[in-house]
Structure 1
């Protein structure tokens, strides 16, 4: 319950939470028997869903959940938003082609004009667009080809904690060793990793402005020192906020410094906006807060209005690759383009980025209120409605910055207690210790408050079970 002073009343009670007993349905049993061992989400979120509307989903047993995963952030307008459904129906009712490869259509042209209109004014008249295969990882592959072709160089600089997709080229850019280790040398794809500005666990043991200065100095020295052993790269790829890496927002001065360094060295800067794009962080694109202009932007997830679509938008100066250099059968998904245009119009017409910013501040305030009571909430961070809480173990020895070790086991317990109470959340980050909040951007104040109460009650329950 939200008190008059804005604090959360928990007192170990569930305050009306449903406390579902999650039992496996026949659908889940068959999924376990028949689907690949590589399946991911069902292991932590064992649900079989049958309905979705707005921020809610309902499973086959009739239980209702607030969806704070939202298609890994793709459903910015939630499930089955009317403007999205209407846009799809118009395509279907008028016998419009559903798949056109890269041939032009009025729907495709409208999508491009709508997307370009969202870019900063200084960019929109100097860019090209490449439609890619339906997933973000394919757009990452396209970006690698683009900058390697344009520069004639091969090495790429990526960052610790990075996530850019699961194809082999994209995996070579990934910080997480888990999916990479079984593939061995096949992923030795000329990638050099750099420290990301992870303030809570600064790789230089400094944090704050000192950590940012040290980080930028390291990168600049790497690129200018003739004895660094690192060749001039074809490009640098970065997330303005690392998502899978643990919801780590890059300091804005650091982003500006990275742009200055890459520009001075003649290195294309690729910004991955797959999860952050389309208003999630409080601005249309996350890089806008820093006032920088990247050379290439990778987009997917929200741009298809809940349907598969991915594009690469880049400076026309890089447009030197040959016809057919990147292709894919399903890059002409007309339903996704129509839905994407509908989403863009709604985001602008209803100023959804500002709403996401306000709701994000409201949720963050609730989480920080809990943090003052529970030291297990080591760090609350993020921007807009892309927030993360890093869970720690205060019974262990802190690091050089005074922060306790991460606690992935507690995060898993909290996630399961949230699920019992009707809240779907995902974990991420180092040791899967970060609880991630990615609700649809249309979430209301009342729903934000409810999310915070459920999370608080789940935390109390998880801590009680840990103590038993």
Structure 2
């Protein structure tokens, strides 16, 4: 396991002090941000909330062009499992470049591609891997979701898809149709037809207003009714698409019993279970794959983000019984990204060799335990939840009286995010009304860094609360 030091690509020790000793900037950082605002699309998102121009990054830490150091708890929205510029991935990329291997091969095979497939299948549960096929997709998670939808429809001969409130699966036509957030869905007009959105087991804000085990029972009963009632009005679906832990939806882990029930129902009714592990895959939740927490296996598993070791890559792994599409039925120009496969193989092996899934579970527990201690003193923290190093803090209004659950407070959450940025911590928001503060640090984060992160977060939280009180 790594120490608090991070290694540069030249092999020297890289520390926080090294960051602070960087030479003065050669240009105003605002020049970059101003040019970005003028030239880039109005759809850009992160720079509006995190207005930074980044210069250098190693491990957990990034340096901006003003010379300020930040703890990066966004990590490419979970893409950078090993943090920035980890020597394992850098070495794998350099070796690939030095080898003379063609960097782009469509779906022609190479030793690098073969090694990637071997490493990925070795990381999967053995029973699933033994009868699995892999499809390399375009470079994004949304591309993998689109491929999964297509495969499920071809294999089952059905057209409908079940998905869940709060879900996020990407911004392409099919993936957007599955999204819980209404905002991005309103303007494009016609989306994919035959999509049925079901309640997700969000216990803190139970969609049935009951919570607990009874809520799980009701949720499963509702799905069963749709699949069995000849008067339900809903045709049998090709697939159910689910995140084991909703990320953008507010870091909401699905109960194991609910997932087991969904798996049982889909098997009984010949429905393909698509599990979206674009953000949760590769140790993030304390298991190599989040579905392992429930002891189930999907029919189709979609992976991206960390799977490419920080470079663009997306794959779909599925049961060979579903492999009913014809040659050329799915393609994607950049499905042959050799650099990403090399970096992904190195990342996979390192996570396993170093026990980073177990480490993520321990560090996540440490983070959530300390955040729950803070919660006692701050009524604006409604709930701390998560799994492994995928942690959310739901921020609520303290003004509401008599409500069973206080309303989400996106304004306060945004204020906390901005105060964290001033303290040198990069975090993102998600969930209903953007009221969930999300932590997605690299899996290599250490205990002392967790402690420092919580210290900074508590200071930022206190400052945001004080400012709110002064505004009155």
TM-score by length of 1: 0.94
Deviation at 1:372, TM superposition (A): 1.0
Q: Which residue number corresponds to residue 9 of structure 2?
A: none
Separation in structure 1 between the aligned mates of residue 416 and residue 395 of structure 2, nearest angstrom:
10
Distance across 2 between alignment mates of 1:101 and 1:397: 59
Q: Is 1:419 the equivalent of 2:424?
A: no
1:106 aligns with 2:111: yes
Contact residue 160 and residue 235 of structure 2 kept, 8 A: yes
CA contact 1:127–1:313 (8 Å) conserved in 2? yes
Q: Secondary structure at the match of 1:52?
A: strand
* Partner SS state of residue 58, structure 1: strand
Tell me by how many angstroms 1:363 deviates. 0.3
Distance (Å, rounded) in 1 between the aligned partners of 2:332 and 2:399 = 52
Cα distance in structure 2, aligned partners of 1:169 and 1:95: 38
Q: Choose from 220, 228, 231 the match for 1:227.
A: 231
Tell which has more relative contact order, 1 or 2 (C-alpha 8 A, sep 6+).
1
- 1:96-148 superposed Cα distances (whole Å, 9 cap, x missing partner): 11000000000001100100111111111101000000001000000010000
Q: Distance in 2 between matches of 1:51 and 1:228?
A: 56
Contact 1:240–1:272 at 8 Å: present in 2 too?
yes
Aligned length: 444
Counterpart pick for 1:320 among 320, 324, 347: 324
| In 1: Cα distance, 2:281 partner to 2:79 partner | 9
What residue is the counterpart of 1:441 in the other structure? 443
Residues in 2 aligned to 1:335 and 1:220: alpha-carbon distance in whole angstroms: 44
Does the 8 Å contact 1:398/1:405 carry over to 2?
no
Structure 1 unaligned blocks of 5 or more: 1-17
Aligned to 1:212: 216
Report SS of the residue matched to 1:175: coil
Contact 2:78 2:279 in 1 (8 A): yes
Q: Return the offset for 1:394.
A: 2.0
Question: What is the aligned counterpart of 2:90 among 66, 85, 92?
Answer: 85
Tell me the CA shift for residue 24 of structure 1.
5.8
1:465 to 464, 467, 472: 467
SS in 1 for 2:188: helix
Which residue number corresponds to residue 178 of structure 1? 183
Of the candidates 257, 260, 277, which is equivalent to residue 261 of structure 2?
A: 257
Is this contact kept in 2: 1:397–1:405, CA < 8 A? no
1:397 CA displacement: 3.6
Equivalent in 266, 272, 295 of residue 268 of structure 1? 272
CA deviation vs aligned residue, 1:222-260 (integer Å, no higher than 9, x gap): 111111100000000000000000000000100000001
Q: 1:319 to 1:398 in 2, by over 3 A?
A: farther
1:41 aligns with 2:43: no
Partner of residue 64 from structure 1, selected from 66, 69, 72: 69
Separation in structure 1 between the aligned mates of residue 123 and residue 402 of structure 2, nearest angstrom: 44
Distance 2:375 2:224 in 1: 37
Deviations 1:128-179 (A, max 9, x none): 0000000010000000100000011000000000000110111001011111
Query: What is the CA–CA distance in structure 2 between the aligned matches of 1:91 and 1:62, rounded to whole Å?
Result: 33
Instruction: Give distance in 1, aligned partners of 2:294 and 2:461.
Output: 34
Q: 2: CA distance between counterparts of 1:172 and 1:328?
A: 21
1:188 deviates by 4.5
Tell me, yes or no, if the aligned pair for 1:24 and 1:46 is still in contact at 8 Å.
no
Residue 12 of structure 1 is matched in structure 2 by: none
SS of residue matched to 1:373: coil
Q: What is the alpha-carbon root mean square deviation over aligned residues? A: 1.0
Equivalent residue in structure 1 for 2:252, among 244, 248, 271: 248
Number of the residue aligned with 1:10: none
Distance 1:212 1:159 in 2: 14
1:179 match: secondary structure: helix
- Residue by residue, what CA displacement relative to the aligned partner does 1:307-366 show, whole Å, maximum 9, x if unpaired? 000000000000001111111111000000000000011011100001000000000011
Q: Give me the TM-score of the superposition, normalised by structure 2.
A: 0.93
Extract unaligned runs of 5+ from structure 2. 1-19, 21-27
Contact 2:374–2:458, Cα closer than 8 Å, also in 1? yes
The answer as to 2:379 corresponding to 1:375 is yes
Partners of 1:397 and 1:276 in 2: how far apart? Answer: 36
